[in-house]
Amino acid sequence: MSSNENPIQIGVCGWGDHDLYPPGTQAKEKLAIYAGHFPVVEVDSTFYAIAPVERMERWVDDTPESFRFVVKAYRELTGHGRLEKAPVRPWQELVENMLASLAPMRRADKLEAVLFQFPPWYDCSQKHVKYIRRVREAFRDVPVAVEFRNQSWFRPEFRDKTLQFLEQEKCIHVICDEPQAGEGSVPLVLATTHPAQALVRFHGRNVAGWNNTGQPNWRDVRYAYRYSEAELEEWVSHVRQLEQQVRRVTLLFNNNSQGDAVDSAKMMMRLLDIEFEGLAPRQLDIF
């Protein structure tokens, strides 16, 4: 690990909608400003559409050498199905398009992981295990992180087998801080399955809003949560534990429905007493 890489990375999910930018900042300018605050970001737009290579190249160019991206896998590769009006493409074509999209980040050594977030109905079953193996083979040269949203993977009879499976397939187990809201949520499983990386995603703890899928704004409600200092203080010992097991720990905050993710991330930095190396230069105000 070079001197300007951070053994603990903290960032947020997406960079467009946070309270980091001066009024009037254009969308194309935001990533460069974001990279002055955090060393890593999750790219969530790739869940809805595979990004063109030119866009990925621009993001690479807009960030410092040590900056890292966690890229969400396209939804048709994670069992979420095809969006209305999206073109019908064979599975192998989707894989090839996704790999081509990732190429600029891989060349620049800025791809931290590809996040395969499986849906709440994706239970622990033979067909789903088989599919994850298929994904791993298709993306064999890429760091693959797996996030489950179905409790069955971590029931007592399956928990150890799930972790062993991820370890055998050289997948990164995504550790989740999220509401405990029934079958469509997973418990905190503080376990690593890959020596290179631990990835933690903070979704908030809004139990009431987590499963309220009948409302038109349920996605906004689901991630509406402001972590208290006491709640994040619990994570200091967890992060120190993970730090002993892997080369790098990445913490990503997804509690941004009401703009709380940046504040949570910066509070976590303070609690861990972290100052990041290799950030982009901050724009200084004259007055």
Q: Report the percentage of the chain scoring pLDDT > 70.
A: 91
Domain borders along the chain are 8-272
- Return the pLDDT at 285: 45
**What does the alpha-carbon distance between residue 241 and residue 246 come to, in Å, rounded to a whole number?**
10
Provide the pLDDT for residue 124: 98
**Identity of residue 121:** W
pLDDT mean over 20-34: 93
**Contact (Cβ atoms closer than 8 angstroms) between residue 200 and residue 245:** no
What average pLDDT does the chain have? 92
Q: How far apart are alpha carbons 231 and 112 in whole angstroms?
A: 26
Other beta carbons less than 10 A from residue 215's beta carbon? 11
pLDDT band at 131 (very low <50, low <70, confident <90, very high): very high
The confidence score (pLDDT) of residue 84 equals 86
Is the pLDDT score of 181 beyond 90?
A: no
The pLDDT of residue 86 = 86
Task: Choose the most confident range, by mean pLDDT, from 36-45, 222-231, 255-264.
Answer: 36-45
- At 72-126, the pLDDT tens digits run 999 999 999 988 888 899 999 999 999 999 999 999 999 999 999 999 999 999 9
Q: What is the pLDDT of residue 49?
A: 96
Q: Sorting pLDDT into bands at 50, 70 and 90, what band is 149?
A: very high
For the chain, the C-alpha Rg in angstroms (whole number) is 18
Tell me the pLDDT tens digit for each residue of 193-212: 999 999 999 998 876 666 66
- The answer to whether residue 177 scores a pLDDT higher than 70 is yes
Q: Could you say which DSSP state residue 200 is in?
A: E
Q: Which DSSP helix (H) or strand (E) runs through 8? A: strand 8-13
Q: Coil, strand or helix: which one is 145?
A: strand
CA distances from 168 to 49, 163, 171, 193, 263 (A): 30, 9, 8, 8, 37
Contact 148, 154 (CB under 8 A): yes
Q: Could you give the 3-state DSSP secondary structure of residue 115?
A: strand
Quick check: 71 and 43 in contact, CB under 8 A? yes
- Averaged pLDDT for residues 169-191: 93
pLDDT above 90 covers a percentage of the chain that reads: 78
Q: What average pLDDT score do residues 139-167 get?
A: 97
Backbone angles phi, psi at 173, to 5 degrees: -75, 125
**What is the structure's pLDDT at 225?**
79
The closest of 67, 6, 21, 73 to 41, measured between CA atoms, is: 67
Tell me, what's the pLDDT at 219?
Answer: 63
* The CATH number of domain 8-272, selected from 3.20.20.410, 3.40.640.10, 3.40.50.360, 3.30.420.40: 3.20.20.410
b/e map 32-60, b = 16+ CB within 10 Å: bbbbebbbbbbbbebbeebbeeeebbebb
User: What does the pLDDT average to over 54-78?
Assistant: 97
Identity of the amino acid at 139: F
Tokens 């009948």: give the residue: 214
Measured at the CA of 68, the angle between CA 66 and CA 72, to 5 degrees, comes to: 170
